[in-house]
Amino acid sequence: MDIIVCIKRVPQTAEAKVEIESSGKDIVKDRLTFDMNESDMYALEEAVLLKEKFGGTIIAISLSCSDAEDTLRIALAKGADTAIRIKAEDFDELDGYKTAQLLSAVIKDIHFDVIFTGCIATDDAYSQIGATLAELLGIPHATLLTNIEVIDSISHVHRELEGGLQEHIEISIPALFTIQTGINVPRYASLIAIRRAAGKEIKLVGQNEISKDQLLLNTQIEELFIPPVAKQVKIITGSPGEVSKELAGIIREKGLI
């Protein structure tokens, strides 16, 4: 089984102070750490599990700048056979549709049975790439997978729906699936595997292979901003008398009495 996994390198912002850069269209990244997008880790692991069961190859693909080559090498260390980096620096501002177009331009010439992507990127939260890419390639797809089993070219998958519901569907391959976190337990890359991956070649694809004239950009970022604080919670501490006095003062200040 030949599998393609689309991977994104994202900043880790959960415990970091996020600031908007002077252009107003991006965040300051020089003090942030980067890693593979969380749901992409699960997508890669699911690809490796299928490869271990059925054999075949895994190609990891990333539309990114050169910094992401370390992330692709981690994918190689975890079980991908080859890696391709589409040179994001060769192209202008990227939205979800343009990203899917660039991925499609490269993938259409590669044989595959399954394409895996993460269900969402933690930096922009578009959740558009997987479904859009499937439509551009003309293949069926399913999103938010929590389980997959392939039997005789038919994939039996479970999807996560709202309200805790699960949907079971059957899709013939080739097909694309977006993977939900928790579908498996991603493995760690061993030191030996990391060292081997360091010597592997990463194929580069840029504007010489993909014409800009064939790309469409539907959206542009006008402005990033920190959401204004609309509601606040104040915790009052002290003795019952002190708390009552301060609470009464707040109520009076707000004009409620």
Ordered structural domains, the chain, with CATH: 2-214 (3.40.50.620)
With left for phi above 0 and alpha for psi between -120 and 50, is residue 214 left, alpha or beta? Answer: alpha
Match 């252009």 to its residue by tokens: 23
Tokens encoding 9: 């390198």
pLDDT digits (tens, 9 = 90+) for 204-253: 999 888 877 767 777 778 888 888 877 778 888 889 889 898 888 888 88
pLDDT digits (tens, 9 = 90+) for 128-182: 999 999 999 999 999 999 999 999 889 999 999 888 889 999 999 999 999 999 9
Tell me the C-alpha distance between 141 and 158, whole Å.
12
Residue of 175, 148, 149, 173 lying closest to 159 (CA atoms): 148
The SS3 assignment for 102 reads: helix
**CA 10 to CA 21: how far, in whole Å?**
17
Report pLDDT digits (tens) over 84-123: 999 999 887 888 888 999 999 999 999 999 999 999 998 8
Q: What is the pLDDT of residue 233?
A: 81
DSSP bridge pairs for 58: 3
pTM of this prediction? 0.84
Q: pLDDT band at 28, cuts 50/70/90?
A: confident
SS3 85: strand
CA distance 226 to 150: 44
What local confidence, expressed as pLDDT, does residue 141 receive? 95
